[in-house]
Structure 1
């Protein structure tokens, strides 16, 4: 058996171990499992299909961290009603999660991580959704525009994400079902050279992920 085949088989064995780990440890933070799953898929894809294979493998591997095929329709409709008029966008993602993109006009004042009154009804509905669906967890991601120092923006984005998870916890959501991440200005979705673009980039994203199907006990 030549060295190339041996290398491939070794990577497959490692990937299998990673997948098993994701399946058994996903209870507290499926977002972590999704990341590891994506990395595993990318590794396999790179071996068997080059760069394009890596991209495809990452997309497939991400499913390891959560339940795919989850029916979000009821939750989507409920959240859409609660966020109407706020500019919040709700979309199902390729990895099977449900993403809420909430604009800065609703969430926080400039240079602040104190939750605005207009943000509270949205978060109350998210909390209610989580309390009614114990198989679902939430990852909160804070973003800023590129104005100011990168270190300051990073800290501000983390503080904003943590403000959201803290608020959800006050509404009865178990802290272990919540995670907070700050991305600073590193993931713009619009042009930071315009005011309109900067406003789009200042946002909070909430990803809802299912760790089991409805009625099943979540893996601990």
Structure 2
């Protein structure tokens, strides 16, 4: 009996709220010009690409990653920048848990990334070929998401970031040797203007 009464009460409360919201949204969008409804077709202004100092950003990232062995910051283009951080000892084995060396490397990036709030950060995880292809894909996605969450907890706005994983699909070294597998375990950042 109590469940039926509370369901009726919710129904009676929700119906007027929904109708009120519909009426308010109709009133808010009601604009007349000669009997027709006018709508704006003007798109929001895009952020100007030239407002980002790509060489300055690269210099800041180079300086920040100066003590991180194997880290690479690519040459900036007109509207993007790529950096690579090795993670062979950045995660616990077969895990998405960040270890101290990777956390320290990410911590060095945060001031520079925060100084460029109009830059979007796309994080891509990679693995070596040990394990199944599907497992490595899932692991790389989980690791890139862990990096994104770590950066979020350190003040990087979530709406600036995205995460993806490639598993073992985009190797940069020979997976038949340990040194090659270590190079393939990495996180890459693709920086571009925030849209």
TM-score, with normalisation over the residues of structure 1? Answer: 0.61
- State the distance in 2 between where 1:126 and 1:179 align: 16
Aligned to 1:136: 119
* Residue 148 of structure 2 corresponds to residue 165 of structure 1: yes
Q: How does 1:1-220 map to 2 (within 5 A)?
A: 67=49, 70-86=52-68, 87-92=70-75, 96-211=79-194, 219=195
State the 1:88 CA deviation.
0.4
Q: Aligned partners of 1:97 and 1:70: how far apart in 2?
A: 9
Distance 1:145 1:185 in 2: 5
Deviation at 1:210, TM superposition (A): 2.1
Q: 1:82, 1:121 within 8 Å by CA — same for their partners in 2?
A: no
Shift of 1:112: 1.9
Per the TM alignment, residue 90 of structure 1 is displaced from its structure 2 partner at its CA by 0.4
**Structure 2 alignment gaps of length 5 or more:** 1-42
Find the aligned partners of 1:150 and 1:95 in 2 and give their Cα distance: 35
CA separation of 1:26 and 1:207: change in aligned 2, threshold 3 A: farther
**Which has the larger helix fraction?**
1
Q: Is the 8 A contact 1:107 1:204 kept in 2?
A: no
For each residue in 1:44-93, what CA deviation from the matched residue of structure 2 results, as whole angstroms up to 9, or x when unmatched? Answer: xxxxxxxxxxxxxxxxxxxxxx9379432222222222212322000035
In 2, are the aligned partners of 1:130 and 1:137 still within 8 Å (CA)? no
In structure 2, the partner of 1:214 is none
Runs of 5+ in structure 1 lacking a partner?
Answer: 1-22, 28-65, 212-218
CA 1:115 to 1:133, structure 2 compared with 1: closer, same or farther past 3 Å? same
Q: Distance in 2 between matches of 1:145 and 1:77?
A: 30
Give the Cα separation in 1 of the matches to 2:167 and 2:102: 20
Say if 1:107 and 1:115, in contact at 8 Å, map to a contact too.
yes
| 1:145–1:184 Cα contact (<8 Å) kept | yes
1:191 is displaced (CA, Å) by: 1.1
